[in-house]
Amino acid sequence: MSNQADLLLNKPSALNEHEFIQHYKDIYEHSSWVADAAWQHIQRCPRVADFDRRSALQALLYEIVESRDYEVKLALLRSHPDLAGKAALSGELTPSSTSEQAGVGLDQCTPAELARFTEYNNAYKAAFDFPFIMAVKGATKAQVLSAFESRINNNASQEFQTAMSQVHKIAAFRLAEK
């Protein structure tokens, strides 16, 4: 028996394909292909209602992403915006990213903080060829900046795995909010 925290308000089993994809398309940033693949998988399962549990749906989404090759994962990483970057400043973030960055105060950076974020974003992308990704929910600006400073020293393989882990953490937060 599942606990109440594991239940979804909008049961995937009650949604049609369009509703499902619309509802879950931004769990992984700009990657509706994950929701589409989940829908296709769920439709082949004899017990569709099993995916009404958040943990089951989260595990499925995770497996879909992790089963993809390096290039698809790299594209997923590259779909993420810079923290306190140009997209944020011009209001071009997804609603989820806007909320997550605002929750840390990245929408209220001083000019000096913005300059620091820009410097770190540029250095990080130069080193790894994808943006710095961190599940910022519950973090502070200082913690984000500290993570930049420590992760820039990772090797490429280690940082790719760290970034993927952060992407999954962001997805879990977003799914929990659904």
CA distance 97 to 146: 20
Assess whether pLDDT exceeds 80 at residue 5: no
pTM of the predicted protein model = 0.85
Q: What is residue 152's predicted lDDT score, i.e. its pLDDT?
A: 94
**Residue finishing a domain among 20, 35, 67:** 67
Which residue in the list 18, 41, 80, 168 is annotated as catalytic? 80
- Model confidence band, residue 164 (pLDDT cutoffs 50, 70, 90): very high
pLDDT above 90 (res 177): no
The Cα 140–Cα 143 span in angstroms is 5
Instruction: Indicate if the pLDDT at residue 94 is higher than 70.
Output: no
Name the domain count of the chain: 2
* Pair (89, 157) in one structural domain: yes
Counting Cα atoms < 13 Å in the Cβ hemisphere of 49 gives 1
Q: Is 18 a catalytic residue?
A: no
| Boundaries of domain holding 169 | 81-177
State what percent of residues in the chain have pLDDT above 90: 58
- Spell out a b/e string for 118-146, using b for 16 or more CB atoms within 10 Å of the CB, else e: bebbeebeebbebbbbbbbbebebeebbe
The verdict on 171 and 96 lying in the same domain is yes
Pair (49, 95) in one structural domain:
no
